[in-house]
């Protein structure tokens, strides 16, 4: 999916010929899909134009921090605020955003719940997020999930936790998958892990936070050709929930 619009610029030197009352663009996903922003490009037209999209010869730049607040939502309005593009030495004329709609079952790592996936287009997909994602998670969390999935892959879609401590360790807020801990604000800080195969048929995932700083959190996707079972709890003092027959 692609949306685009002219950014709002009240500068008298604005070269855009089009006057529009449109102040935002809307991202939406049908069939209970979830938004995943892929790229967001701001551009300046080479010559005066009424277009709100790319034209040959335009000066453009991509950003990875604007639009991410729409991740994980089913509908989102994004303001058309102008951005100063240093590479172009002026404010943007327009923005173009590409996004995908992810289909799959979703739950928080702190839900007291158990889920068995069903296939979508012959694939099983499970989306696991931190509480309140894409908004900030809470302090003093201690949650975990037990995941049973054969021949599967785990993928980091978005990741923003508290920074490492003075010893460069993940001791504050962290996500632990088996015996590896992940923290900080960029996926590439975590051993460049973007996606990784799940070797064992069962893995344990833990999310712990301290009582100081909160961040946006994380969003993961597990996909497999076979059924995925996940059981999550919001406290180490309580047992994992089990699937009961009706």
Structure confidence by residue, pLDDT tens digits, 122-148? 899 999 999 999 999 999 999 999 999
- Phi first, then psi: give them for residue 206, nearest 5 degrees: -130, 135
Residue 195 has pLDDT above 70, yes or no: no
Q: Which candidate, 72, 77, 78, 70, places its Cα nearest to that of 32?
A: 72
Written out in words, the top-level CATH class of the domain with range 105-233 is mainly beta
Handedness of CA 164, 167, 168, 170 (dihedral sign): negative
Segment holding 42, helix H or strand E? strand 34-44
- pLDDT one-digit tens code per residue, 96-119: 999 999 999 999 999 999 999 999
- Phi-psi category of residue 67: left, alpha or beta, with phi > 0 → left and psi -120 to 50 → alpha: left
Q: Where are the domains of the chain?
A: 2-102, 105-233
CATH number of 2-102: 2.60.120
Cα–chain center distance at 201: 26
At 2, the pLDDT band (50, 70, 90 cuts) reads: confident
What is the pLDDT averaged over residues 40-47? 93
- Same CATH fold assignment for domains 2-102 and 105-233: yes
Q: Is the dihedral of CA 33, 38, 39, 40 positive or negative?
A: positive
Start-to-end Cα distance in the chain: 40
């Amino acid at each position: 999916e692609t949306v685009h619009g002219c950014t709002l610029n009240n500068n008298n030197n604005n070269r855009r010929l089009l006057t529009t009352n449109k102040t935002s663009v809307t991202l939406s996903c049908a069939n209970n899909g979830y938004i995943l922003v892929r790229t967001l490009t701001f551009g300046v037209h080479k010559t005066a134009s009424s277009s709100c999209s790319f034209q040959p010869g335009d000066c453009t730049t991509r950003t990875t921090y604007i639009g991410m607040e729409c991740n994980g939502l089913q509908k989102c309005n994004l303001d058309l605020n102008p951005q100063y593009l240093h590479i172009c030495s002026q404010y943007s004329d327009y923005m173009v955003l590409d996004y995908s709609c992810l289909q799959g079952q979703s739950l928080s790592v702190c839900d007291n719940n158990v889920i068995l996936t069903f296939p979508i287009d012959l694939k099983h997909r499970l989306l696991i997020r931190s509480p309140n994602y894409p908004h900030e998670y809470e302090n003093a969390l201690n949650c975990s999930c037990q995941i049973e999935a054969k021949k599967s892959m785990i993928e980091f879609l978005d990741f923003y936790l508290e920074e490492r401590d003075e010893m460069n360790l993940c001791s504050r807020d962290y996500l632990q998958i088996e015996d590896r801990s992940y923290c900080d604000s960029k996926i590439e800080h975590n051993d460049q892990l973007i996606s990784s195969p799940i070797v064992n048929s069962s893995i344990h995932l833990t999310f712990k936070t301290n009582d100081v700083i909160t961040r946006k959190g994380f969003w993961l996707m597990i996909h497999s050709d076979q059924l995925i079972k996940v059981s999550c709890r919001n406290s180490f003092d309580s047992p994992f929930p089990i699937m009961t027959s009706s």
